[in-house]
Structure 1
Amino acid sequence: MSVLLEDIRPWRHDLGGCLHGCLATLLESRGVTALPVLGAAWTFRHFPGGVRREEYYYPCRAGDSLLQALAPYHPVRSEWHEPADAAAGWREVREQLSAGHAVAVAVDNFELSFRPAYRDVHSNHLVVVHGYDEERGTVRVLDAVPPAFHGDIPLAELTAARNSGNDLVHERDMFFTGVHIGNRWLSVELGVPADEFPPLDRDEADRVLRLNQEHFAARPDGDGYRGLAGQEAFLTGMVKRLAAGEAIRDELFVAAGAALACTAVHADWLALAGRTLDHPGLLEQARAVDRVAHHWSAVRIFAALTSDGEVSPARLARRVDALMRDHESALTGLEQERTRL
């Protein structure tokens, strides 16, 4: 028996990662254009102790699914499935494919021959699976992350990647190791039919900009950091911890990656809204938000260099100050453009 789901397309943002890419592909396979959904919310959240060493980590509030955390303004959700073993893991995925639903699966790049890390570095990654051929013993895999791959691989190879212990073996196994892959797979669900999602009109743009402003204006509460004040507290706390000699590399690298992707994809949402609504001011603010995203990219690079002492607390503090200034300026500009919609 063989199944191949058609019209499964790669989706990629240069500053995003496998999470946004895979969820976008799954949403579009259900008939929902991804960018208006995944790019709407611009948020910051961080939960100390909650960071997982996964490339697809994203901070989630209690009760929220991963997709709800990325797209809180739309009727979508995702669900992690945790099979008992590799055989159950493939059986569950096979059943979904036979029912016409593509899924995302967690994998270890070390076991995938199309990844540059093959047989070199362990890393917890996410790819889309949308077909299989039992006679040939292959599965159809889509990975939009460079160098990008879309084709068939042996089922045994995918099984090894999904069942990997993802062990931290040597010093190159950084950031996304030490967490068993566990054959996990991810599905998405729509709360309403695809044609009932809100169009990107002026009312929708106003709603999204208002909700983002409210988020960043909110004061931190509970054990986590949120909003602009929470973002500043988290980042200045990282500087203080680095100055005190603490190891901040992994936490800052993973947390900054989530913030980077969120900010960068929202910049694309603003650009799309500006073109759709013929609103040049939103195009201008898209560039301002993109500038903030590139600050996050620099923070992430700095994080990777802290363990070798190549980035001093003072240098990190200067980058944090620049990020916060440009973020505040972008929020001011967006509020002004909202009044002009």
Structure 2
Amino acid sequence: MRVELSGIRNWRHDLGHCLHTTMGVLLQHHGHDPLQILGAAWGFFHHPGDIRREEYYFPLHREGLLESMAPHHPVHSRWHWPQNAQDGWSEVRSAVLDGAPVAVAADNFHLPFRPAYRDVHTNHLLTVWGFDDDRRLALIADPVPPRFQGAIPIEQLTDARDSANPVLHDRDLFFTDNPVANRWLEVSIGEVPPHDRDFVRHVIDRNLHGFGATGSGPELVGLAGQRVFLDDLADRLAAGAEPVVDETFIATGALLAMTGVHGDYLTAAARDFGAPELLEAARSVDRVAHHWSALRIAVAMARGDTAAAEPSVRLRSKQLLADQERALDRLSSAARAL
């Protein structure tokens, strides 16, 4: 038997990563514009010490992964954890046979189309959208460069999904030491509200409210939580706390992606509705995204001498917060003008 689902197209944002690209592929299959769903939310939420070593890390502040990424939309996701590799493929095959492409975790070390093939272990995410039983092939979509949409042997996919994802040498960084465990993600989508002025205004208002929130426990939320996060980052770098490098690289990757995609969401909305104030706000959000990118690189380069990075990180954090406050002010004005 051979099954190939329709409506599978690559989607990617330059500042996103495999989580956003994979969710984009799935959302397009369901007939939705990924930017309108994945780009709506912007906020800050962080669980200190709860950093999952996977490329598709996102801080969970709702029931599931996609719900946390897209809290303004009726979406739902659920991880499945099969007992073994055989069950892992059987479950994914059944879901595709029923008409649903699924996201699967995989180790790039075992994927022949990834640059890390047979070189670097890393916990990645991609889409399975078909199979050929007779030829023992799985159909894969992975928009992350160099971009791949096609067939690979089921055995290779199984090796990637069943990988222990070990740390073997000094190139296995950030997303290793976390078994892939054959996990796969089921996604469902309810009735999506129309993308109009009222909904965009509602989205901005909710995001602004979120930035004004304060946490009641160890979780860091809103702009106040972001200040604590950045201050703690600089303090830990100065103290030589080596784990801060991997933790920050993973956590800020999610923040960078969310901010960058939101900037493009605002840009698209500004053009859709002829809203110049919104376009100015989008540019301000883009500026914040690039602060996160620079901060992430600075911390990643600090391995082995974290204290040396502390002054530049503290300065970048100050600039980031100042530009973020300006972006929030401009968003507030743009929402009133919509």
User: Could you say what secondary structure the match of 1:306 adopts?
Assistant: coil
Alpha-carbon contact 1:22-1:128 (below 8 Å) kept: yes
Q: 1: CA distance between counterparts of 2:69 and 2:218?
A: 20
- 1:3 is aligned to 3
- Among 241, 245, 251, the residue aligned to 2:247: 251
- Among 192, 199, 202, the residue aligned to 1:204: 199
User: Counterparts of 1:32-71 in structure 2 under 5 Å?
Assistant: 32-61=32-61, 64-71=63-70
Ranges of 4+ aligned residues in structure 1 off by more than 2 Å: 308-312
1:284 aligns with 2:280: yes
Alpha-carbon contact 1:103-1:187 (below 8 Å) kept: yes
- RMSD (Å) for aligned C-alpha atoms: 1.0
Measured after TM superposition, the shift of residue 312 of structure 1 is: 2.2
- Among 309, 328, 336, the residue aligned to 1:312: 309
Q: Give the counterpart letter for 2:321 in structure 1.
A: M
Q: Give the counterpart letter for 1:19 in structure 2.
A: L
Alpha-carbon contact 2:101-2:129 (below 8 Å) kept: yes
Measured after TM superposition, the shift of residue 261 of structure 1 is: 0.5
Measured after TM superposition, the shift of residue 191 of structure 1 is: 2.8
User: Could you say what secondary structure the match of 1:189 adopts?
Assistant: strand
Q: 2: CA distance between counterparts of 1:269 and 1:261?
A: 12
Q: 2: CA distance between counterparts of 1:166 and 1:334?
A: 42
User: Counterparts of 1:151-166 in structure 2 under 5 Å?
Assistant: 151-166=150-165
- 1:14 is aligned to 14
Q: Give the counterpart letter for 1:233 in structure 2.
A: V
Q: Which moved more, 1:280-289 or 1:223-232?
A: 280-289
1:332 aligns with 2:329: yes
Alpha-carbon contact 1:200-1:276 (below 8 Å) kept: no
Report Cα offsets for 1:139-163 as digits up to 9, x if no partner. 1101000111111111111000000
- 1:119 is aligned to 118
Q: 1: CA distance between counterparts of 2:63 and 2:310?
A: 34
Report Cα offsets for 1:294-334 as digits up to 9, x if no partner. 11111110121111327421111011111111111100111
- 1:302 is aligned to 298
Q: Report % sequence identity.
A: 49
1:147 aligns with 2:146: yes
Q: Give the counterpart letter for 1:285 in structure 2.
A: A
Measured after TM superposition, the shift of residue 183 of structure 1 is: 0.3
Report Cα offsets for 1:28-67 as digits up to 9, x if no partner. 2112222111111101111012110000000002x51000
Report Cα offsets for 1:84-117 as digits up to 9, x if no partner. 0000000000001111110010000000111111
Q: 1: CA distance between counterparts of 2:151 and 2:114?
A: 14
- Among 254, 260, 267, the residue aligned to 2:256: 260
User: Could you say what secondary structure the match of 1:220 adopts?
Assistant: coil
Q: Which moved more, 1:21-30 or 1:262-271?
A: 21-30
Q: 1: CA distance between counterparts of 2:49 and 2:228?
A: 16
Q: 2: CA distance between counterparts of 1:146 and 1:299?
A: 23
Q: Give the counterpart letter for 1:83 in structure 2.
A: P
Q: Which moved more, 1:291-300 or 1:24-33?
A: 24-33
- 2:266 is aligned to 270
User: Counterparts of 1:56-205 in structure 2 under 5 Å?
Assistant: 56-61=56-61, 64-192=63-191, 197-205=192-200
Q: Give the counterpart letter for 1:89 in structure 2.
A: G
Measured after TM superposition, the shift of residue 198 of structure 1 is: 1.5
Q: Give the counterpart letter for 1:300 in structure 2.
A: R
Q: 2: CA distance between counterparts of 1:296 and 1:171?
A: 25
Measured after TM superposition, the shift of residue 221 of structure 1 is: 2.2
Q: Give the counterpart letter for 1:328 in structure 2.
A: E
Q: 1: CA distance between counterparts of 2:223 and 2:171?
A: 34
Report Cα offsets for 1:183-214 as digits up to 9, x if no partner. 0001111233xxxx222211111101100100
Q: Give the counterpart letter for 1:323 in structure 2.
A: L
User: Could you say what secondary structure the match of 1:24 adopts?
Assistant: helix
1:234 aligns with 2:233: no
Q: Give the counterpart letter for 1:301 in structure 2.
A: I
- 2:220 is aligned to 225
TM-score, normalising length: structure 1: 0.97
User: Could you say what secondary structure the match of 2:301 adopts?
Assistant: helix
Report Cα offsets for 1:56-79 as digits up to 9, x if no partner. 000002x51000000011110111
Alpha-carbon contact 2:299-2:309 (below 8 Å) kept: no
In structure 2, the gaps of 5 or more residues are none
Q: 2: CA distance between counterparts of 1:101 and 1:46?
A: 31
Q: Which moved more, 1:31-40 or 1:327-336?
A: 31-40
Q: 2: CA distance between counterparts of 1:104 and 1:267?
A: 25
Q: Give the counterpart letter for 2:169 in structure 1.
A: H
